[in-house]
Amino acid sequence: MEGRGGPRIAFVGGGSYQWGPKIIQDVALNEELRGGSLVLHDINGEALQDMYEWGTRALDATKADLRLGKTQRLDEALRGAEFVVLSISTGGLDATALDLEIPSRYGVVQTVGDTVGPGGLFRGLRNIPVVVEIARSMEEYCPDAVLLNLTNPLTVLTRAVTKATPIKGIGLCHELFSTLGMLSRMFDVPEETINVRVAGINHFIWVTDVSVDGRDVTGEAFRRISGGVAREISLSDADGDTDPFTNTWGFRTELCRLYGYLPAAGDRHVCEFLPGYLRDEEERERLDLRVTTVDVRRERLAADRESVRRMVRGDEPIPTGRSREEISDIMAAMWTGKDSVNIVNLPNAGQVRDLPFGAVVETYGALNGTGASGIVFGELPPPVAALVHPHVFNQEAIVRAGLTGDTDLAFRAFLNDPLVGSGPDARTMFEQMFEAQRRLLPQFEG
């Protein structure tokens, strides 16, 4: 992909107060992307203007060689792009409120509700037609571009794109980084000396092996984690901290002890993949499983918006360093042809041998000028496979239902979710959620 100057990057959802500053700053400060352009696109004109003004100030502060643009027209953003970054939320927090509040009437507790559970399923159904339409627009305006998806449910949406279109799609998630940071602190070594073997699906990945400077420390790591060391050393588990976004370790500690392997995503995501832990309030308290309410999300959004605006006004300094995200490094590797190894979500081409070909799996991947390819992991250990496999097949059903508008298939996938089950309330809950969001589910009309 390398050519004169840097690449053209389209950021769809570029008005995101959460992702906008990170993407703009990381691209601007990546030397291998110098001379390129970043075009922000969003249907929310106010948020788009805020992030454009923030980006303009950030580029002035860093003296970065990057052209920044903005547009509310998707075709203008996509035309000629080499990379498309995707961060959207169809229906926004109003739809998320329905995802959480309707199931709660039936005793279904969701800590996040964006990947699995009733909320994850309906979030997927809402976003599938929108994301696929964006990918089809890419076919017209930038057919060779790579789609870098940050939108949840990450597995389902990346799979929908790669199933329905020829667009090259990669899902990117940062959940593994907290586990690597914890292991670094536990062994008192730099993070770059830690190596893990890890595989699964997004927000449900499992570490099976750990090494430090090439020395196998798996047994020691899992023994110490099972004994509670991760909870003790986690910098985020400060006394009195009740922030639901905090990366707690009670649940991963429990699962490592029970299954002999370590879930590598945050507790708040992992617990939604398994039945029985969220219904009991005492169990949630014992494991420190925190529920992220819509009100808390609205407060976080308002705080992020106000922070951006303070920086635009000059009342708060613009950050001058890069974030922990790897997205700019991934684009740089594919643009320059230099090799990079990163955690990625890709269609399974054999990297996880016991999962279906084509299903999107999360493993390490090799990225360079030829694109992205998953690094072979092998087979998931039987105790882990028994937990992961049902979700893979259910996500395939959700994708098919979302692409074809098959209501019966969507309901059966709903029944198969461990937070729902096949109780007498399942049909009523599904129908209430469906009716409440019908305007956001156009593929089911007719």
Residue 2: predicted pLDDT: 42
pLDDT tier at 233, thresholds 50, 70, 90: confident
Q: Is 37 helix (H, G, I), strand (E, B) or coil?
A: strand
Quick: pLDDT tens for 291-335. 999 999 999 999 999 999 999 999 999 988 999 999 999 999 999
The answer on pLDDT for 202 being more than 70 is yes
The answer on pLDDT for 170 being more than 50 is yes
> Is the distance from CB of 375 to CB of 351 less than 8 angstroms?
yes
**Chain mean pLDDT for the chain:** 95
Q: What is the pTM of this model?
A: 0.96
Q: Give the containing element (helix H, strand E) for 163.
A: helix 154-164
Quick: pLDDT tens for 400-445. 999 999 999 999 999 999 999 877 899 999 999 999 999 999 999 8
> Is the distance from CB of 38 to CB of 22 less than 8 angstroms?
no
Determine which one of 174, 269, 389, 391 is catalytic: 174
The answer on pLDDT for 141 being more than 90 is yes
Residue listed under structure tokens 């920086």:
311
Report d(CA 299, CA 282) in Å as an integer.
27
Residue 232: predicted pLDDT: 79
Let me know if 41 is a catalytic residue.
Answer: no
User: What value does the mean pLDDT take over residues 67-72?
Assistant: 98
Quick: pLDDT tens for 358-402. 999 999 999 999 999 999 999 999 999 999 999 999 999 999 999
pLDDT tier at 3, thresholds 50, 70, 90: very low
Report the alpha-carbon angle 343-346-351, nearest 5.
80
